[in-house]
Amino acid sequence: MSSPVAYTLDGDIAVISIDNPPVNALSHAVRQGLLDAVETFQSDDAAKAAVVAGAGRTFIAGADIKEFGKPLADPQLPHITNVIEASAKPVVAALHGTALGGGLEVALGCHYRVAVKGAKVGLPEVNLGILPGAGGTQRTPRLVGAEAAAEMITSGRHMGAAEALKSGLIDHVDDGSDPVAAGVAYARKLLAEGKGPRPTRNITARIEEAKQDKGLFDRLKADAKKKARGQLSPVVCIDAIMAAVYAKDFDEGMKIERQLFQDLMKTPQREALIHAFFGERAVGKVPELKDGKPRKVEKIGVIGGGTMGSGITLAMMNAGIPVVMVERDDAAIAAGRGRVEKTLQGGVDRGKLTPDRREWMLANLYSGTTDMNALADVDLVIEAVFEDMGVKKEVFTKLDAICKPGAVLATNTSYLDINQIAAMTKRPEDVIGMHFFSPANIMRLLEIVVADKTHPDVVATAFDIARRAAKVGVRAGVCDGFIGNRILGKYLRVAQMLVEDGATPYEVDEAVVGFGYPMGPFAMSDLAGLDIGWMTRKRKAATRKKEERYSADWLDRICEQGRFGQKTGRGVYIYPEGARRGEHDPEVLQIIDDVRREKGINARKFSAEEIMERYMAAMINEGAKVLEEGIALRPVDIDVVQITGYGHPRWRGGPMKHADMRGLDKVLASIRKFEAEDAWFWKPAQLLVDLVGRGENFDSLNRKEV
């Protein structure tokens, strides 16, 4: 079999070209081929300099995901980057597309780096629970400084060519589009100027600067801990960068980096983050896509210009799709346009959008009207009106009469039965749920809810729109709340029970944040609006089972006082003068005490560990029931929903992965213990019981064909 790395000569310039489609990943064959080519160059008297480039659409996009979690065969990347750097003749990296992770580390091992416009670089290993282990933490600080290296490595963000040039990470941006031509031209320039190798390891000015700032690493580590919220790898990355500054020499720094890399490889967080990484790719494999083909979508209608409707409009505009927004009257459409304009202006203010691009988007991708007939020529309509079945049925009756044949009719409902909505049309096969999460232009999750009669082409269309809008589409079946909100309802109930039984809402929130969530359930409810949950509870009151414990009386009393959270300045927390961060409220604690006394409940203390044991057990048990009923295809679908839509810490892998890592037998034992207190709520899912009985875990279900 031929090597994926080719060695050719362009006059006296060796061209080492990596051709491993689709992204030139650093497989074993690529690593061996790269090492062989570099050694050939070193012994080739006809070659005065070398250019390392990627064939196809990119340089090297990183490691080979097929090798993730497996022992790597020699040669390994740290050795290869050292061999490149040790070359007695200059080596130039010519970058296009993306140079990420190990790809950028190869470039850092080269003596010079050039890029064509549009190239992006980055060290995203932190997002997989590890650190750059082939010199990335040692060479980057030498080029950009320790502080800039820390920001780049701990965030894992991608950097454009212009920014990389300004930072010192690369040496030149070429105006052309051919990386090999750019690299060869730069190599010839170096030779003409008499410039030889420039090993990155020998560049020390930025290292000396860092040594002068005695408090630098204390600040960097404190900042990393604050942003990481429990994740290990960002903090360990700072330790590795610190080794670049304070190790006795470069080789000792490399040894420290490698040891830290290997330590992180053994952590549960690395396993969880790899699970999340592959999970986002797995959720796109759904049965309807085997036969279904996306319909052409060149124009979209959005019904509603409120927070959700305007967010969906922006998400589609950001995808480059023209949108017509429909609202009930002129004032509402003006308000909707105002929300769109304000968000786009925010992008300009943050430097994410140019003023010209903002004006172009408003002129070419947005229109607003009060006339539903404007939807006659759209390819997809997304309804985002008030969460009321009667209102939605009325909207879909009108859409059925107005929209052209083949148009996809989508509802953004969070809870309601899409089969009932579809039944209002003569084309239920064209109806689907597209449940966006607020703010819809930012949140990555899109639950794609497949009704009983939804056509596979319509499912394929929804997944295609998710892709175009940079969303993570997850298939769900029809039930109250689908995947995410159904599970949310369970752990919110547990949180309410914990408060009624003796915890304060603030203790519950602190435990959940301590676990790794960005905010607790009550702070989140205040942000969303307590009236939303109140309406849901009232909607479900008539169908509530007599066996079901109702533990939200204290929340209902808060709502009865008109305290709906941040928007009213008071909810579970107090928000003085419009503050975004709430303060504890003694009046809420008094309301809770009054309810306990009326119900004869003797309050008891709960530790943070006890709170999280119940919180996660409820989530996992309901997740198992969602799987039993076929609402979710796989456990990993639930994990991805919770991570991308509900703030579950990515480094814990999602609730079902968390259950596997804890041990399903231990999770079931917790549920059995709680079942003794409340047999109705804590009845174990049969799937969970069966998996424990067979000695299997949730991940075994991820591997089954869907």
- Rounded Cα distance between 74 and 76, Å, is 5
DSSP letter string, 5-57: EEEEEETTEEEEEE--TTTT-B-HHHHHHHHHHHHHHHH-TT-SEEEEEESTT
Q: Are 699 and 627 in contact (CB under 8 A)?
A: no
CA distances from 468 to 160, 309, 318, 414 (A): 21, 18, 9, 22
Integer Cα distance of 349 and 667 in angstroms: 48
Q: What is the DSSP letter of 86?
A: T
* Alpha carbon separation from 449 to 100, 258, 433, 607, 704 (Å, rounded): 35, 45, 4, 38, 21
In the residue annotation, 147 being an active-site residue is answered as no
Helix (H/G/I), strand (E/B), else coil: 630: coil
Using alpha carbons only, give the angle 102, 48, 120 rounded to the nearest 5 degrees.
30
CB 179 within 8 A of CB 17: no
3-state secondary structure of 60: strand
DSSP string, 101-165: THHHHHHHHSSEEEEETT-EEE-GGGGGT---TTTHHHHHHHHH-HHHHHHHHHH--EEEHHHHH
Cα–Cα dist 552/77, whole Å: 57
> What is the distance of C-alpha 681 from the center of its chain?
32
DSSP state of 565: B
Select which of 39, 67, 85, 105 is catalytic.
Answer: 105
For residue 583, which phi and psi values (nearest 5 degrees)? -115, 155
Other CB atoms within 10 A of residue 486 CB:
20
Q: 145 in the Ramachandran plot: left (φ > 0), alpha (ψ -120 to 50) or beta?
A: left
Are 637 and 285 spatial neighbours (Cβ–Cβ below 8 Å)?
no
DSSP 224-240: HHHHHTT-SHHHHHHHH
Which tokens is 16 given?
């080492």
Q: Which of 597, 604, 588 is nearest to 505 (CA)?
A: 588
What's the helix, strand, coil split of the chain in %, to 5? 55, 10, 35
Q: Which of 288, 449, 303 is nearest to 378 (CA)?
A: 303
Rg (CA), the chain: 28
Give strand pairing partners of 674. none
- For residue 136, the tally of other CB atoms under 10 A from its CB is 30
* Of 125, 147, 257, 327, catalytic: 125
Interior/surface letters 371-401, b for 16+ CB within 10 angstroms, e for the rest: ebebbeebbbbbbbbebeeeebeebbeebbe
Residue 125 among the catalytic residues: yes
- The residues annotated with a catalytic role in the active site are 105, 125
